[in-house]
């Protein structure tokens, strides 16, 4: 069942977006990125959840074409499925999409930002508990910038380069997981105050 994976999966349907909008499914996708091909039991151990709570979510990701069954292997007296992401990178095609697509996209963005908020809160709690040294593990930045249309078109590619450079690093001893969430939105035209 093993086939070569394409580098990029382009999300084009509301169903694919809905499959990604829950925090647990985002965690599952993240675990597959870190671990590669894995069983549900291995994914559950990676994200600290019970395996029986993940089967439904993995199945939904399979139905949406985001995850696929790679193989089966013996696991004690039974056989377990091994799954993998269908591509090494997932992007969303926003162009010319329906109202249903844009609604599902907004739901996905909200869920992603809620997950980031929870992860940041947990990291801040850990920083408070840490007694030694000034090690800082959190940072938040929000700014408004004026971009030309050329710069705005280049921005997603630049952000992807940053993500690729961080995710392509080899695992080093003592490396820790970090959450990185970036939101970019074109703002409505400003109305000058009278």
Cβ neighbours around 51 below 10 Å, total: 15
Q: Which residues contact 190 (CB under 8 A, 6 or more apart)?
A: none
Q: Yes or no: say if 115 and 23 are a contact pair by the CB < 8 Å rule.
A: yes
- 143-173 residue pLDDT tens: 899 999 999 989 988 988 888 788 766 667 7
Tokens of 40: 């549900």
Phi and psi torsions of 78, nearest 5°: -130, 180
Question: Which residue stretches of the chain have pLDDT < 50?
Answer: 1-2
Distance in angstroms (rounded) separating the CA atoms of residues 104 and 13: 9
Residue 3 confidence (pLDDT): 58
Return the exposure string of 10-35: e unless at least 16 CB atoms fall within 10 Å of the residue's CB, then b.
ebebbebbbbbbbeebbbbbbbbeee
Confidence at residue 168, expressed as pLDDT on a 0 to 100 scale:
65
Token digits of residue 112? 């992603």
pTM (global) more than 0.75: yes
Strands (E), the chain: 8-11, 67-75, 78-85, 89-92
Residue 49 neighbours by CB under 8 Å, 6+ apart: 24, 27
143 pairs with which residues across the strands? none
pLDDT value at residue 1: 46
What does the pLDDT read at residue 2?
45
Ordered structural domains, the chain, with CATH = 8-91 (1.10.10.10)
């Amino acid at each position: 069942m093993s086939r070569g994976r394409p580098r990029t999966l382009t999300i084009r349907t509301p169903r694919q977006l809905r499959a990604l909008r829950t925090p647990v499914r985002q965690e599952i996708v993240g675990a597959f990125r870190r671990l590669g091909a894995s069983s549900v039991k291995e994914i559950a151990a990676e994200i600290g959840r019970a395996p029986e709570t993940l089967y439904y979510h993995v199945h939904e990701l399979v139905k949406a074409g985001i995850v696929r069954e790679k193989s089966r292997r013996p696991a004690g007296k039974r056989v377990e499925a091994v799954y993998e992401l269908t591509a090494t990178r997932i992007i969303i095609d926003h162009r010319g999409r329906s109202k249903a697509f844009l609604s599902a996209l907004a739901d996905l963005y909200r869920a992603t930002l809620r997950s980031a908020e929870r992860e940041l809160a947990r990291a801040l709690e850990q920083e408070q508990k840490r007694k030694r040294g000034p090690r800082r593990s959190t940072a938040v930045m929000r700014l408004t910038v004026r971009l030309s249309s050329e710069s705005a078109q280049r921005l997603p590619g630049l952000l992807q380069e940053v993500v690729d450079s961080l995710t392509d690093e080899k695992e080093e001893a003592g490396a820790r997981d970090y959450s990185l969430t970036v939101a970019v939105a074109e703002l409505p035209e400003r109305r000058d105050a009278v």
